[in-house]
């Protein structure tokens, strides 16, 4: 994409924000919501933007802490609320509409806070590429009149990364964020213990220097996805032994490496 087209999309995004006037942003600290928060603050000012972050068992502590640091660095007004998706009827059973229940609760909280505090609109970080995957959370956004300015401006993930680099955002090259519930095949019950199990293993991979990774839960098997250029690290015997020992200590019996590598939405392939 040439710079003229990208600049036009960026200008469209700022125009949408100006039209909205004051906004609550569902803020996770991922690539998309971080970019949206920064542009909203630059466009509207800190007094007319609220970053709402919901803590939950499906939200890794590392991601939460990073989101708080980013909001503070931007001088953003941030509101942290507690949420527990495992208590939502139908969520823990993990059917294909699971994400709908999660997003419906989050967006309901955002909408209530927007009304209480006098903000005109609720925004999320959905972008054009999200239309290419199974995203039942989009239905919740539509029902609750949540706006998606990045999508409306025609911005895709690579556009957002490019613009994030221009703005000097530390999330420009961060892996795509998805809550821990996305690590479980549909129909596999999601429990607090299983979430902790996956979180522990992903934390270990991050501490070993992996940049793009997922640990998919398959009962006694942990299926590791890492970026294609990082698969070769597993030829190191010491690393393999360390990963195997840690994953077994976390509760898995077998540890498998997915040779297709990391990809978003792999649980939707079936």
Q: Nearest Cα to 79, choosing from 39, 51, 112, 115?
A: 51
Measure the CA–CA gap between 199 and 251, rounded to whole angstroms.
12
Known catalytic residue at 179: yes
Measure the CA–CA gap between 227 and 119, rounded to whole angstroms.
40
Query: Which one is catalytic: 99, 102, 110, 179?
Result: 179
Catalytic site residues?
179
């Amino acid at each position: 994409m040439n710079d003229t087209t990208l600049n036009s999309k960026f200008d469209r995004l700022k125009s949408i924000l100006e039209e909205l006037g004051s906004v609550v942003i569902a803020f996770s600290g991922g690539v998309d919501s971080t970019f949206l928060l920064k542009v909203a603050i630059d466009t509207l000012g800190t007094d007319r933007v609220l970053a709402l972050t919901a803590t939950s068992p499906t939200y890794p502590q590392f991601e939460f802490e990073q989101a708080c640091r980013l909001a503070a660095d931007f001088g953003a007004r941030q509101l942290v609320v507690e949420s527990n998706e495992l208590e939502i009827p139908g969520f823990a059973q993990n059917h294909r509409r699971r994400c709908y229940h999660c997003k419906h609760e989050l967006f309901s909280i955002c909408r209530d806070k927007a009304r209480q505090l006098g903000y005109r609109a609720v925004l999320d970080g959905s972008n054009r590429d999200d239309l290419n995957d199974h995203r039942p959370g989009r239905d919740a956004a539509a029902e609750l009149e949540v706006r998606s300015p990045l999508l409306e401006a025609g911005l895709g993930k690579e556009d957002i990364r490019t613009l994030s680099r221009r703005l000097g955002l530390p999330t420009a090259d961060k892996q795509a964020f998805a809550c821990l519930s996305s690590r479980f095949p549909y129909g596999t019950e999601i429990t607090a213990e299983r979430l902790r199990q996956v979180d522990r293993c992903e934390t270990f991979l991050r501490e070993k220097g992996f940049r793009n990774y997922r640990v998919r839960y398959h009962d006694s098997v942990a299926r590791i996805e890492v970026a294609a250029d990082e698969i070769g690290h597993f030829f190191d015997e010491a690393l393999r032994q360390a990963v195997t020992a840690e994953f077994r200590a976390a509760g898995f019996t077998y540890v498998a490496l997915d040779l297709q590598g990391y990809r978003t939405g792999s649980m939707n392939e079936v």
